Amino acid sequence: MQISSGQHLSFCLNVFALDDLEKIFAVLANECQSIKSQVSEKQPMGLGLWLSAQVADELQDEEKLKSLQVQLTKFDFYVFTLNIFPYGNFHESPVKEKVYYPDWGDQKRLDYTCKAAEILAKLCPDEYGTMSTVPVTFGKELPLEAVDTIRQCSQYLQALESRTGVKIELAFEPEPDCYLETCDEALRFFEELRSQLTKGEMEYLGVCLDTCHSALQYEDPIENLEKYVNAAVKVSKVQISAAPVIMCGSDSDKEILRPFAEPVYLHQTRVKDSEGLVTFYKDLPEALLNGDAGEWRCHFHIPLHFTGNGVLQSTNKDLSRSFFALAQKHCRHFETETYTYFVLPNASESVSDSISQELMWVKERL
């Protein structure tokens, strides 16, 4: 939905298994309609659409793209941003670190991104759209071809704007244990890009600030925003999300997080001891086996409106009105992203009600 002139808020549809166009149509007609009736009944509602590579291929057919446009218009939706982080299956079978591949060293990632940009240019309601993407690769080794592949993508987006009048920005999303993990790593990478790309090519590149991911690094989201702004790095999109937090003093405390150790997604975990030393674990089961006393934070997107339950708390406390005020000065696209709803322990609300509550939680703070 439009929250001010040129600024939009929605949720990311990667919470749903959108394997093909028919599944997108079904979700638009059902869950999305239910959400819209609760949060944007009298005005058009923007969507953060997830397109898998398969669906992006499907939508290269003009008739199928027109059919999507018809469905969006029918239900009073519009698309202003895409999530093109997950390339393939994002539900059911174990995803884990496979979600980061193909990475930016692979031609498949470039082809997928360019196809998605063409689609977004035809769907977005104004002359500006954003797409969030993988943080280059998983791990700390830069793929040999990554910078050149990113350059080719930027050149494609530049040509797309010349051809259509629509500017699409590609937003790299820092995430735990990836090449871009922290704000400082993202800043260093953008300096490297600036040394190899033209100023015009850099105009189409930015970051997606995911507040769950920054919380895993014990980063202050306000400080991150200020760093990006001071370094002239575009904050193309903010994904508003939260992570579970517990203070572990015993093995019984750790057991509170065990239901979050599900097999589909990678749940990187950080444990901060009483002296401030942070131990990194690639996944929650490893942390449960080896982690010691301290503050535990886990990469598991939990509903924003969860206020805490005894030992279990949330990093949503970092998302203050001051954060949102600063974010609105420097970013136009906002998206909630609790994609883990269907593996969330003891979920008591329907997915539509939970997403609606999240959006209302954000609107109250804007």
Angle between helices 183-196 and 221-230 (to 10 degrees): 20
Q: For residue 9, is pLDDT > 90?
A: yes
Q: What is the mean pLDDT of the chain?
A: 97
Residue 318 DSSP label:
G
Distance CA 361, CA 165 (A): 35
Give residue 68's pLDDT band: very low, low, confident or very high (50, 70, 90): very high
pLDDT digits (tens, 9 = 90+) for 129-155: 999 999 999 999 999 999 999 999 999
Distance CA 110, CA 177 (A): 22
pLDDT at 250 (0 to 100): 84
Average pLDDT for 16-22:
95
Q: For residue 337, is pLDDT > 90?
A: yes
Distance CA 201, CA 348 (A): 47
Q: For residue 4, is pLDDT > 90?
A: no
Give residue 340's pLDDT band: very low, low, confident or very high (50, 70, 90): very high
Distance CA 361, CA 307 (A): 11
Q: What angle do CA 208, 212, 218 make, to 5 degrees?
A: 105
Q: For residue 56, is pLDDT > 90?
A: yes
Spacing of C-alpha 153 from chain mean position: 20
- The token pair at 23 is 């599944």
Q: For residue 310, is pLDDT > 90?
A: no
C-alpha distance from residue 237 to each of 121, 164, 312 (Å): 17, 22, 28
What is the helix (H) or strand (E) element at residue 31, kind and residue range? none
Which residue, 102, 13, 95, 10, is CA-closest to 53? 102
Residues 6+ apart with CB under 8 A from 3: 9, 328, 334, 363, 366
Question: Do residues 77 and 45 make contact, with C-beta atoms less than 8 angstroms apart?
Answer: yes
Average pLDDT for 177-204:
99
Average pLDDT for 306-315:
92
Dihedral of alpha carbons 308, 254, 346, 17, sign: positive
Dihedral of alpha carbons 283, 288, 293, 298, sign: positive
Helix (H, G, I), strand (E, B) or coil at 90: coil
Q: For residue 77, is pLDDT > 90?
A: yes
Question: Do residues 345 and 259 make contact, with C-beta atoms less than 8 angstroms apart?
Answer: yes
pLDDT at 249 (0 to 100): 87
245 φ/ψ sector (left φ>0, alpha ψ -120 to 50, else beta):
beta
pLDDT digits (tens, 9 = 90+) for 228-281: 999 999 999 999 999 999 999 888 899 999 999 999 999 999 999 999 999 999
Please name every residue paired with 235 in a beta bridge, in sequence order, or none if there are none: 207
pLDDT digits (tens, 9 = 90+) for 279-290: 999 999 999 999
Identity (one letter) of the amino acid at 145?
E
